[in-house]
Amino acid sequence: MIRIRGLGKQFKGRQVLRDINLDIQEGQVVSIIGPSGAGKSTLLRCINLLEVPSEGEMAVDGKPVHYKTNAKGKLTILSHIRLSWLRTDVGMVFQQFHLWPDKTVLDNITEGPRIVQKVPKLVAEARARGLLEKVGLADKMNEYPTSLSGGQQQRVAIARALAMQPKVILFDEPTSALDPELVHEVLEIMVQLAGEGMTMVVVTHEMNFARNVSDRVLFMEEGRITRDGRPDELFGQPSPRMAQFLRSLNPITEPRGVSVHENRYQSV
Ligand code: ADP
Ligand code: MG
């Protein structure tokens, strides 16, 4: 579904991604973990060209993503039509939800399909209602985002991503901005999506999600992927740097190997 070769990214001459090589298969759930500043968000943002890579090749669903920039770093080769195809295939869910505050929940979800995919209004609305039911928010259809809790807003953002019927969804720390008691309601939706076979790439600090839900975990540090494997392999034998990272996430409980959210996802 995603193929990346030799991807690099510099910001003002500073190298923040180096030689990223990655193949993600259809239906795979891949968690990306690692310290702040490692380049996790930049990698996700490069995949759908929210950031333009400095070098390297990418393909999504077998289609090469051609990009080229001018001296100012603006995209020049990929046309807007191609870009909207890419953004249709590759959904994104952000830490800060990024819902449109002046649109109702329903309009937030129908906007993309109607504008980008030219889906008729009634069809888009029927699709949105189905998705709101799926995320447990059918009764919030006509509300505005500000009247919802963070967990509800993030569930709307997931419904909005799904409305485009993407081939893969990228999640950038989808639960990091939430009050702890709201984290589970978003994770439950993600677990459900994973079970349905959605291809997902998830930057997360929720180690129980990484450990129990994903098929594969990547550890990033200093712009590189330094570990890549099954969760049991990585968590069973972390590199010294990864062990240090895991301890830093949960300094009080980690020595016993138990984290505060442990019991929530034991069943998955
Ligand atoms: P992570 O998500 O792993 O915390 P990021 O991908 O956000 O890391 O950032 C990687 C590095 O790139 C950081 O040092 C960050 O400061 C830098 N960076 C990210 N975005 C920009 C930007 N738009 N301009 C300049 N530097 C950036
Ligand atoms: Mg980040």
Q: Is the pLDDT of residue 140 over 60?
A: yes
> Is the CB of 36 inside a 6 Å radius of any atom of ligand 1?
yes
pLDDT at 66: 76
d(CA 30, CA 202): 6
Pocket test for ligand 1, best of 16, 17, 41, 173 (most atoms within 8 A of CB): 16
Task: Give start and end residues of each alpha helix (H) in 48-182.
Answer: 80-89, 105-115, 121-134, 150-163
Mean pLDDT (the chain) is 90
Backbone angles phi, psi at 213, to 5 degrees: -105, -35
Which own/partner pairs from 259-262 qualify as long-range (CB within 8 Å, at least 24 positions apart)? 259/207, 259/208, 260/180, 261/183, 261/184, 261/206, 261/208, 262/208
Structure tokens of 52?
A: 């333009």
> Is the CB of 176 inside a 6 Å radius of any atom of ligand 1?
no
pLDDT at 123: 97
pLDDT at 85: 83
pLDDT tens sequence across 27-36: 999 999 999 9
pLDDT tens sequence across 31-57: 999 999 999 999 999 998 899 898 999
pLDDT at 73: 63
Ligand with the closest atom to the CA of 12: 1
d(CA 226, CA 235): 14
- Ligand 1 midpoint to CA 252 (Å): 28
Write down the pTM of the prediction: 0.91
> Is the CB of 204 inside a 6 Å radius of any atom of ligand 1?
no
- Ligand 2 midpoint to CA 86 (Å): 21
Q: What is the mean pLDDT of residues 124-152?
A: 97
